[in-house]
Structure 1
Amino acid sequence: MSSVDTAPTAPTATGANGDWRPRIVRPAEVGVAASPEGLQEFLGGTDIGRLLVEDRAVVFRGFGVSTGTYDGVADLLLPDRLAYVHGNSPRTKVGRNLYTSTEYPAEFEISMHNEMSYAHAWPSRILFFCDVAAATGGATPVVDGRLWFESIDPEVRAAFAPGVRYTQNLHDGVGFGKSWQATFETDDRAAVEAFLDGAEAEWSWQPDGTLRVTQLRRATLEHPVTGTEVWFNQADQWHVAGLGEDAAALAEIVPEEELPQNAFFADGSPIPAEYIRHVQEVGMRKAVNVDWEVGDLLFVDNVSVAHGRRAFTGQRRILVAMS
């Protein structure tokens, strides 16, 4: 594992044990107005790529960003917003490649993950925006991917070293999980087939119209700039053991090969449930919370940093875009 890393040009907050935390940027600290225009002024004079490599995650707070002024700021941080094609989380598209962060029930936590790390290509940048803060809870926990990797038991890391095999069964409009139409944002089979071929995935159409997809992906990744090795997979979010009681109940009535999604070791052998629970527990324990204020933006290096969600009460609306 490479030891190359880059020290930040500005102080990055740390916890009591010296762990990394996201940097918080406020108007007074960078000498601009407390407005969306002030944030645009700051971003216009900043090497954003370097900022993200050095700080890994940045919260822009106190600039009064709203849904009406979001695009002007977001276009500086995400020059080319991506559609959420082949995404597995339930979301609603609300703007120009802008989505609700997730529609997973409020009472459940979402474990740590790098967005679309199961895919052939993934976003390098993610931008979260707080439109409505939860009444209680609802923080977005973030974890340093290197810390997560190094904190996982060596036996578990070794077992995952050859990679992860992901399987999906995407129904044709009726069934458990997401449909293939919603997953790929099209009802054109040929377009889906071309996408999957380009993604080096194995796929087949089932007699009932279900699309079965298998992908072999890496379990860790080296950051393209720093060379730092990080934990980079979503095995725990695809494996039945990581999805709670409802998924376990579903697994009792649906054959394993027909589950909406699942994860295996690279050779197709089953991943022990205790490995899945260990990975999830370590990620959540090492994470630090970003507690939302309305108008906050959280800008994340999607390779260096994984994210999740804490349970909450009340109305919470966090929007997300990727690049």
Structure 2
Amino acid sequence: MENSRAAWKPLEITPEEAETTADADGLAAYLSTLDDLEGLLAEKKALVLRGFGVAEAELDPVMDHLLPNRLAYVHGNSPRTKVGNNVYTSTEYPAEYVISMHNELSYAHAWPTRLLFTCVVAPASGGATPVVDGTLWLASLDDEVREAFADGVRYTQNLHGGRGLGKSWQDTFETEGREDVEAFLQETEASWTWLRDGGLRVSQDRPSTTRHPLTGDEVWFNQADQWHPAGLGDETAAALAKVLPADELPQNVTFADGSPIPTQYVTQIRDRGLEFAVDVDWHQGDLLLIDNVLVGHGRRSYAGDRRILVAMCN
């Protein structure tokens, strides 16, 4: 396992290697020459585009090459702010917390195939984006854990109607209309209930692994450790348990049959993902493109200002 951990890291591309100028125009020109970006990304799993100094105002032409069909962050569970045409802040969790490894929207019926991160302001220290090979993450788990998850998981969201813990259903689905939410959910094989206080409860059963459509690789592909109370840490989980039962938390997860997931499974999944991850440190103007099926991502804690933008496509 140690040799496997050292065997993969993202492909780094600089202006010198791309034989182009060190600016956004040079990067766009280089990207226009790539005949098979999809194949390159499936082979390398993640690309770091470093040294081009791309500013926030210069992103659109670059994104047109990297993300041909930019998606809205609908049904996302992470706190974000929309700052452009389907461009968002990467996350707004407090700087002192590490965000564990995950594949974006892996709990949903459909997920983006690619994610693009752009560094607008690099942190004073820390703040790397760790990335993990999903096949390695799966292989790192004990047989007992993989077998327990073989039948999948059940995610439950309790989304308030404007006041409460977690996200509102309006923010989550980027709409004020209940009929829009229901139309979306009808396509996702989810079940839902409108609550008397104006909130919405959504439940959905999902597999714990998936296979990449091009490579056929099986990868760990769920967010059980992020949705489980144990993933919040002992103190936070204990505090929440005093206030709310598990089925009323903003988000919760069980095995697909409704039985609880043991805490030790959750901590193993979280810790192994972070252990086998490779950190991508940020410099202003860097970009990181990842295959969202083959690669999980997270965030290290940091000090100082940090502004990383994210966009995604199918």
- TM-score for the superposition, normalised by structure 1: 0.94
Gaps of 5+ in 1: 1-13
The CA distance in 1 between the partners of 2:257 and 2:4, in whole Å, is: 41
Q: Which residue of 1 aligns with 2:51?
A: 62
After TM superposition, the structure 1 = structure 2 runs for residues 82-93 of structure 1, keeping only pairs within 5 Å, are 82-93=71-82
Does residue 141 of structure 1 match 2:146? no
The CA distance in 2 between the partners of 1:114 and 1:102, in whole Å, is: 14
Alpha-carbon distance, 1:250 to partner: 1.2
The CA distance in 2 between the partners of 1:252 and 1:228, in whole Å, is: 42
Amino acid aligned to 1:88: N
Cα deviation digits, residues 225-255 of structure 1 (max 9, x gap): 0000000000100000001232431122112
| Alignment partner of 1:127 out of 116, 125, 143 | 116
Contact 2:5 2:136 in 1 (8 A): no
Q: Which residue of 2 aligns with 1:235?
A: 224
Alpha-carbon distance, 1:88 to partner: 0.1
The CA distance in 2 between the partners of 1:126 and 1:158, in whole Å, is: 29
Cα deviation digits, residues 66-89 of structure 1 (max 9, x gap): 011111101110011100000000
After TM superposition, the structure 1 = structure 2 runs for residues 1-323 of structure 1, keeping only pairs within 5 Å, are 18-46=6-34, 47-244=36-233, 245-323=235-313
The CA distance in 1 between the partners of 2:213 and 2:141, in whole Å, is: 22
Q: Secondary structure in 2 aligned to 1:68? A: helix
The CA distance in 2 between the partners of 1:67 and 1:195, in whole Å, is: 31
Aligned length: 310
Contact 1:15 1:21 in 2 (8 A): no
The CA distance in 2 between the partners of 1:118 and 1:141, in whole Å, is: 20
Contact 2:134 2:221 in 1 (8 A): yes
Cα deviation digits, residues 173-215 of structure 1 (max 9, x gap): 0000000000000010001011111111000111111100000
Cα deviation digits, residues 92-143 of structure 1 (max 9, x gap): 0001000000000000000000000000000000000000011110000000
Q: Secondary structure in 2 aligned to 1:187? A: coil
The CA distance in 1 between the partners of 2:231 and 2:144, in whole Å, is: 19
RMSD: 1.3
The CA distance in 2 between the partners of 1:299 and 1:221, in whole Å, is: 20
Amino acid aligned to 1:291: D
CA, structure 1 residues 77+17, in 2 after alignment: closer, same or farther (shift >3 Å)? closer
Amino acid aligned to 1:95: G
The CA distance in 2 between the partners of 1:197 and 1:297, in whole Å, is: 35
Amino acid aligned to 2:305: Q
Identity of aligned residues (%): 62
Amino acid aligned to 2:12: I
Amino acid aligned to 1:97: N
Contact 2:254 2:260 in 1 (8 A): yes
Contact 2:4 2:136 in 1 (8 A): no
Q: Secondary structure in 1 aligned to 2:57? A: coil
The CA distance in 1 between the partners of 2:184 and 2:273, in whole Å, is: 31
Q: Secondary structure in 1 aligned to 2:6? A: coil
The CA distance in 1 between the partners of 2:238 and 2:27, in whole Å, is: 46
The CA distance in 2 between the partners of 1:118 and 1:16, in whole Å, is: 27
Contact 1:26 1:63 in 2 (8 A): yes
The CA distance in 1 between the partners of 2:99 and 2:84, in whole Å, is: 24
Segments of 4+ moved more than 4 angstroms: 14-17
The CA distance in 2 between the partners of 1:42 and 1:22, in whole Å, is: 18
The CA distance in 2 between the partners of 1:17 and 1:52, in whole Å, is: 19
Amino acid aligned to 1:80: N
